Structure 1
Amino acid sequence: MVYRDIQILAEDSPAGAARAAVAGGLAAHWGGRLTGLFPKTGFPPDMLTAEGMGYLPPQTFQTMIDEQAQAIDQAAAKAQAVFEAAAKVAGVAAEWAQVETQGADLIERARCADLLVMAPTARTCLGGPVLTAASIAMANGGPVLVTPETAEISAVGQRVLIAWNGSREAARALRDAGPFLARAGEIHVLTIAHGSLDEGPHDQALRRRLEPYYAKTTFSRQSGQGGADSEILRRHVKALGADLVVMGLFGHARLREWVLGGVSQDLLVAPPAALLISH
C-alpha cells in the first residue's frame, strides 16, 4: 500500500509553501501524482436574498459578481504558483483545480484521493467559510495529513508516534498509516491508561500487527492520572522528537456540526507535529 494520489489544499503563505513541499516530497517518494486544490466560494447565501441585495440595479449586481470572480482568480493564481513550484522541485506530475466549498465538490474529490494534505483550518478566499481538517476527515472516509501552521516543517514520518487505545478509530488510523510506518526510521506506540497499566488483549494484538516493523518499534504505557491526555501526548512528541502523530479522530454529529472529543480538539487547535487523522 502506498499513497499514489495525493491532494493538497493549496495556500499562498510561508506555511502553505512548506506544506506543498512536504506533499511533493511524499508524492515523489511513492511515485505518485500531486493535485492542488484551491477552495473557492461564491457570494454568501444571505447576500443573494432580497434583504441582502436591497434594491441594487442589475448592472451593479453583475459588476460585483465579476469583481468577485476576478479576485478569486487572482488569489488562485498566487496559490497555484506556490503549489507548482513545490511540484517542480519534487519532480512529480501535478494537476490543479479550483473547487467549490458550498457543495459536495471538495469532499467528493477528497474521497477519491489516497491522502489529503491541509492545514488545521483553511479559509476560502475573500472571507469565505472556514474549512476544518476535522470536518473534512469526518466526511471523506480517508486519511488526512494535517501539518502545523509553520514554515519550519521539512520532513514528516521519520519518527512516528502512534496514539493507541484499542478503539475502532485508532485501528482505522493505524491501517491508513501503513505507508508512513513502512518508511519510518522509528515508531513509538503510546497508550495512555486510565486504569491498570498491564497490557490487555488489544495491546498484544497491536504487537502482532506491528511485527513487520518490530525492530524499529517501541511500546509505552503511561497513566492518564498525570494530566490531560493531550498534554501527555504533547510531552511525548517533544521528548521523542516525533514528526508525525497517528491518531483516530473522535467525534459525533450534532446539529450538522462535528463535536470532537477532547484530545482530538486540543491537538487540532495547535498540532505539536504533523497529524495523520482518520475516522
Structure 2
Amino acid sequence: MTGIRDYASIMVCVGRPRRAENRAALAASLAARFGSHLIGIAAREATLPYLEDGLATARPILIENARNAALEDLAQAETNFRRGAGTLPDVEWRSDIQPPADFIAKAARAADLLVVARSSSDSTRRLMSIDPGDAVMAAGLPVLVVPQESRAILARSVVVAWKNTREARRAVRDALPFLQRAETVTVLVVGEDAGDQGVEDVATHLARHGVASRTRRVTALSGSPADAIMDAALEEGSDLIVSGAYGHNRTREWIFGGVTGDLLDRSPVACLMSH
C-alpha cells in the first residue's frame, strides 16, 4: 500500500460575477483538506469597440478605456477570490490582460489541480473565463468542473466512470487524493462490453493505494451512457464523478461527443476529468 496522496497546489479560475466567490470558497475548502497552496487566477482581454473607419486601435483614449475596463473586472475577480478564500493562509492571486484560455493554459504549470465552473450563459464568461472543455484538453493536469452554485465538495462517495483507455487510467491516478479519503468508491463500467473493461483490475489497483472500492456494471441502458453514470452518482449519493475526457481539436476549438460532452453540459455534480 502506498501513502496518502495530496494536491500540493490547487488553482481556481475566478470571474467577475459575485457567484464566482462560490468557486473560490469550494477551492479553499479543498486546499484546507489537502494542505494545498491555493492560487486564484483570472484574465480578460481589453476589447476595443468596432469603428467603421477601422481606426479604433489608433485612438489612445479607446485603448486606455478598454484597459481600465479590463482592470476593473480583474479587480472584482480578485475581490471574489479573497472573499471566497476567507482566512485560508496560503493563497496567491495571479491575473493579466490577455486571452483567458492562453493565460490559464500557461498558468496551469504551477498547479496539481485546476478548478473551473461549468459553462453558463453569462456574457462576462466570454471575456473572463475559459470553457471547461478547453481547460480539460489544454491544461495538462486534472480539471475539476463544478456547478456554478457549489461552495463545497464532500466527496465522501465517488463514482469512477471506468473505460479501459489511457484517459481513464490517468483520471484514476489523478483522483487518488479524493479516492483515498472517500468512504465509498464505486468503479462503474457502462455498455454492452462492460465485462471486457478490466474493472476488477482497477479495484485491485485501488486497493493497493488503500482505496476500498466496489465494482458495478450497467449493460442495459435506458438512456445514454452519460445518463447511466449520472444516475449512478445520484443513487450512490455521490457529489463527484471521476472520468477520462475524450475530444479532438478542430480549428482551436475542442469538439466533444458522447460521455464527455454530456457530463460537461449536464452533470448535476462535480466532475474530475483528465485527458
Structure 2 gaps, min length 5: none
- 1:105 match: secondary structure: helix
Matched, 1:95 2:92: yes
> 2:116 matched to which residue of 1?
118
Alpha carbon RMSD of aligned pairs, Å?
2.6
Q: Could you state the TM-score of these two structures normalised by the residue count of structure 2?
A: 0.87
Counterpart amino acid of residue 121 in structure 1: S
What whole-Å deviation, never above 9, does each CA across 1:27-80 have from its counterpart, x for those lacking one? 112222111111211236x95xxx76535695xx21111111221222222221
Matched, 1:5 2:13: no
Structure 1 gaps, min length 5: none
Following the alignment from structure 2 to structure 1, what is the Cα–Cα distance between the partners of residues 270 and 25? 14
> 2:38 matched to which residue of 1?
34
> 2:54 matched to which residue of 1?
54
Counterpart amino acid of residue 170 in structure 1: A
> Structure 1 pair 68/201, CA: closer, same or farther in 2 (3 Å)?
closer
1:17 offset after TM fit, Å?
1.7
What whole-Å deviation, never above 9, does each CA across 1:75-130 have from its counterpart, x for those lacking one? 222221121122233x2311111132267332111133101101123778595376
What whole-Å deviation, never above 9, does each CA across 1:200-234 have from its counterpart, x for those lacking one? 46223212111146774221001143221111112
After superposition, where does 1:198-237 map in structure 2 within 5 Å? 199-200=195-196, 202-212=198-208, 216-237=212-233
After superposition, where does 1:111-150 map in structure 2 within 5 Å? 111-121=109-119, 125=124, 128=127, 131-150=130-149
Following the alignment from structure 1 to structure 2, what is the Cα–Cα distance between the partners of residues 178 and 97? 27
- Give the total of aligned pairs: 269
> 1:176 matched to which residue of 2?
174
Q: Could you state the TM-score of these two structures normalised by the residue count of structure 1?
A: 0.86
> Structure 1 pair 38/124, CA: closer, same or farther in 2 (3 Å)?
farther
User: What is the aligned-residue identity percentage?
Assistant: 30
1:184 offset after TM fit, Å?
1.3
> Structure 1 pair 127/274, CA: closer, same or farther in 2 (3 Å)?
closer
